[in-house]
Amino acid sequence: MNTQQTVVPSDFILPVGQNVQKIIFITCIAFCLTPWVSPALTLLAGIGVAQLTGHPYIALNHKATHWLLQLSVIGLGFGMNAHSALQAGKQGFLFTVVSICSTLTFGYFLGRWLKVDAKSSYLISAGTAICGGSAIAAISPVIQAEEKQISVALGCVFILNAVALFLFPVAGHYFNLSQTQFGLWCAIAIHDTSSVVGAAGKYGNQALEIATTVKLARALWIIPVALISTALFKSPSAKIKIPYFIGWFVLAMVANTYLPAVKMVSPVFVAGAKAGLTLTLFLIGAGLSRRVLAAVGVKPLLQGVALWVAISVAALYAVLHWV
């Protein structure tokens, strides 16, 4: 007789069997891929699954979100025009430089004041300054961060990403931001590319194009920040992960702009990319179990919130007065 335990751990609210857990999870994925579901609702569904029944494939979650996000961002490139994207990139360059430098500096002093572990503090600051989980994943091996330090930073960033996805579109309408203003604000103030795209896409197509372009240009700052990190943490032998997918995004954008044959099939790629990003948000939410939330701790979360509020308010003031 098979005596294998089929009940998921007790930290989930509904202790269902593994087969039921998988059925619920796959059903939610199918539901999130329907055209009636918004990015915010998808993320909320993922968080609900994480708390109620759990993620049956949690060991694969990080790798799945990593590849799905990159492929989806490349797909979005097929819906963009290179000329307007270049203009958006130029417009957001100064905002990017100032915000990254100021966020890293403020994060350093804030982390010391709150007595947050140095590497956790640095990862939270880098994730807030550049591009959330991607920056943390790229910089953590460079500074030889431990698993707990990486988990704390990722948990903090993903919690705030979830809040931003709901809050930013509401705030954008409240302040009557234009498509350009909202796209820039999202790219600067929201951590992860997935949440940037989700919030901007809900606001409008022009906001989506500007936000995606500026955010990916911002992501390239992973490289110089990682190089600086090797000196700060004295780890010259560490390898730097270069976000090569951004180059494929640029190629997709150029192909859509100059090749008529590609432009004819571009809507198919864009539709697939948006579906992929929707699924990415669900998987991110499904990874936010109570264990992940509890691992963050009060002080790192305070640092993350303070940094995020500071950059959000400063960026909002900048786009309201100078864009």
43 pLDDT band, cuts 50/70/90, is confident
Contacts of 176 (CB under 8 A, 6+ apart): none
Identify the bridge partners of residue 7 per DSSP, sorted by sequence position.
17
DSSP state of 7: B
DSSP 46-76: HHHHHHHT--TTGGGHHHHHHHHHHHHHHHH
List, for residues 130-141, the tens digit of each pLDDT value: 888 888 888 888
Please tell me the predicted confidence (pLDDT) of residue 187.
92
pLDDT tens digits, residue range 177-192?
Answer: 999 999 999 999 999 8
CA distances from residue 322 to 92, 179, 181, 209, 315 in whole angstroms, order as listed: 11, 14, 9, 20, 10
pLDDT at position 14, please? 74
The pLDDT, as a whole number, for residue 8 is 40
The domains of the chain are located at 61-322
- Rounded distance between C-alpha atoms, residue 210 and residue 89, angstroms: 8
Average predicted confidence (pLDDT) for the chain: 86
Q: Please state whether the predicted TM-score (pTM) of the whole model is above 0.85.
A: no
Q: Taking a C-beta distance cutoff of 8 angstroms, is the pair 193, 210 a contact? A: no
String of b and e for 43-74 (b: at least 16 CB within 10 Å)?
bbbbbebbbebbbbeeeeeeeebeebbbbbbb
pLDDT digits (tens, 9 = 90+) for 74-101: 888 898 888 877 777 676 788 888 889 9
CA-to-CA distance for 14 and 73, rounded, in angstroms?
35
Query: Tell me, what's the pLDDT at 9?
Result: 45
